[in-house]
Amino acid sequence: MELTDHQLMEAVGRGDEGAFRELVERHQRAVYGTILRMLGDPFESEDVAQRVFLRVWQAAPRYRPEAKFQTWLLTIVRHLVFNEGRRLSRQRAVETKSFQPAAQDEEPQQMEADLFDPSQRDPGSLLVQREFREKLDRAIDALPENQRMALLLKAHEDLPYEEIAVVLGISLGATKSLLFRARETLRLSLGDAFPETF
């Protein structure tokens, strides 16, 4: 019988490395995915994800299951990702803008590979999809961090409003208001292309 997250955390609190690996495997996609969508840098995101799980390990002896484990975990993500986002903003403010990080070249290379893949029947639609995705990403990146986090947790992790409120440390009403403002901003930016999944 599979152990719950809370049971695994109890075992981690006793120093059980196998239980810790199980928790990481269960939640690494949501943790890394959320961080990557917030920061946009795969290397920084991997580093922050590792710090999130280090905090889980360190907090395990004191952990009390007062909320869903995923909600508690994403609260750690929020703290670290907001701090890292601010640090990166300050760092970018003093750096020159004369070069693009190599990591940004990966997606265009994949797109070029897709365009020349004979199994892809319509390269034009791939370009349209890519252009839309870039426009959507820019619009989401322009949102204030609280709105962006709320939107990503709703759209990608399908968290209920109540859990998003706990993760963000705000009231349910404030959470609904954040999401409403985020969606309205995206509607203005994207017009008819606004995805109803948001």
Residues 7 and 86 in one domain: yes
Last residue of a domain, one of 92, 110, 144: 92
Nearest residue to 181 (alpha-carbon basis) of 135, 129, 137, 146: 146
Looking at residue 116, its pLDDT comes to 42
Residues 132 and 68 in one domain: no
Residue 31 belongs to some domain of the structure: yes
How far, in Å, CA of 56 to CA of 76, rounded? 8
Residues 85 and 124 in one domain: no
Residue 105 belongs to some domain of the structure: no
Q: pLDDT tens string for the chain (198 positions)?
A: 788 999 999 999 999 999 999 999 999 999 999 999 999 889 999 999 999 999 999 999 999 888 899 999 999 999 999 988 777 666 665 554 444 544 444 444 443 344 344 455 566 667 767 777 788 888 888 899 999 999 999 988 899 999 999 999 999 999 999 999 999 998 888 877 766 666
Q: Number of structural domains, the chain?
A: 2
Query: Can you give the CATH number for the domain in which 138 is found?
Result: 1.10.10.10
Range of the domain at 74: 1-92
Looking at residue 163, its pLDDT comes to 94
DSSP code of residue 121: S
What would the two tokens of residue 107 be? Answer: 């997606």
Residue 197 belongs to some domain of the structure: no
Residues 197 and 155 sit within 8 Å (Cβ to Cβ): yes
Residues 2 and 59 in one domain: yes
Looking at residue 80, its pLDDT comes to 94
Residues 81 and 34 sit within 8 Å (Cβ to Cβ): yes
How far, in Å, CA of 103 to CA of 183, rounded? 29
Last residue of a domain, one of 74, 92, 110: 92
Last residue of a domain, one of 92, 107, 142: 92
Looking at residue 114, its pLDDT comes to 43
Residue 198 belongs to some domain of the structure: no
What would the two tokens of residue 99 be? Answer: 């070069």
Residues 52 and 126 in one domain: no
Residue 100 belongs to some domain of the structure: no
Q: pTM score, two decimals?
A: 0.74
How far does the chain reach from its first CA to its final CA, in angstroms? 36
Looking at residue 104, its pLDDT comes to 44
Residues 85 and 141 in one domain: no
Residue 139 belongs to some domain of the structure: yes
Residue 178 belongs to some domain of the structure: yes
Residues 50 and 78 sit within 8 Å (Cβ to Cβ): no
How far, in Å, CA of 10 to CA of 7, rounded? 5
